[in-house]
Amino acid sequence: MLDRFGREINYLRLSVTERCNLRCIYCREGNDCFTAENELTAGELSRIVSQMAALGVQKVRVTGGEPLVRQDLEQIIADIARHPTVRDLCMTTNAQGLEGRIRGLHRAGLMRLNISLDSLCKERYSKMTRGGHLSDVLGGIDAALACGMNLIKVNTVLVRGENDGEIDDFIRLAKEYPIDVRFIELMPIGRLGEDGTRRIPNAEVLAAYPALKRLAPRCPCQPSEDYAGEGFRGRVGFISPVSHKFCAVCNRVRLTSDGHLRMCLGDNTETDLRPALDGTDQTLGDTIRAAIWNKPRGHHFETLFHSQRAMNRIGG
């Protein structure tokens, strides 16, 4: 499935909810309160994934909000896993409550995990997430490793003045465990990111660690530039959407939990798929195909872009 610029779109980021059990400082703002009222059902999600798989999607990442707040998450995962063309089924989670559910999710077909973790200090973690428990994250990681999950990745958003003193600790995590730690630049979405002064360019981090050597990517279209040092069991990745555009090789689209197909994180254009869900599979497929054909050339982070949705309403 190609867009008008010849990019092959084979990766769907599937947000299953806007709800979250945390309020991370760069993600959720104010006193927003989200409910399950406008969320697509498991059946509707499965139908959209079926059409997208038929059009060439091979990788699905389940996101939120926080996916674990959905009690039918195991069913959603199982429905996606039934599509033989979906070769990579993964999930991004804050891991609050993961320890007790990871075995069931793995049995349902979940292959990989990305775990959001912005501090290894329990007090700072609680502050940045506004109420999260670091012990839940570490317990979830241990449980995932114990049940044989492949290639666990830890995503860390560096925020100047918050967690920038922990870079050594995160790099040590990648050295001592079979875990990829990825530093993600704070994106200009929401007040904290749009301010710009709290963003730490990944080039600044990399310059401070000359012992890290560049590695070949695990996947040609991945946004992360990967590095490792001698004796590392995992990798250190740098995702730099602001300082380094990778739009030319972008292979992804996003589905919000209320049924909008969003072509780009840094562009507000969306297509509402809910009317098409009332029609035939042909109508739904045609609507998806037309939306993807019109995917924009690139994001607008460098031009004072203002997102009409907070990060938890997009799915990351």
Q: Which three-class secondary structure state does DSSP give residue 260?
A: strand
Residue 196: the pLDDT is 74
Q: Where are the beta strands (DSSP E) in 140-283?
A: 152-157, 179-184, 213-214, 224-228, 236-239, 252-255, 260-262, 270-272
- Residue whose token pair is 């044989």: 148
pLDDT of residue 244: 66
d(CA 74, CA 62): 11
State both tokens at 183.
């530093």
The confidence score (pLDDT) of residue 82 equals 96
Nearest-angstrom CA–CA distance, 217 and 90: 18
The structure's pTM equals 0.91
All domains in the chain, ordered by first residue: 11-313 (3.20.20.70)
Residue type (1 letter), 213: K
User: In 133-232, which residue ranges form alpha helices assigned H by DSSP?
Assistant: 134-146, 167-176, 191-195, 202-207
Per-residue pLDDT of the chain (316 residues; tens, 9 = 90+): 999 999 999 999 999 999 999 999 888 766 666 788 999 999 999 999 999 999 999 999 999 999 999 999 999 999 999 999 999 999 999 999 999 999 999 999 999 999 999 999 999 999 999 999 999 999 999 999 999 987 899 999 999 999 999 999 999 999 999 999 999 999 776 677 677 788 899 999 999 999 999 999 988 888 899 999 999 999 999 998 776 677 888 999 999 999 999 998 878 889 999 999 999 999 999 999 999 999 999 876 666 666 767 666 777 6
The pLDDT value recorded for residue 57 is 97
Predicted pLDDT of residue 310: 67
Residue 165 DSSP label = G
Q: What is the model's pLDDT at position 304? A: 61
Residue with tokens 């839940």: 136
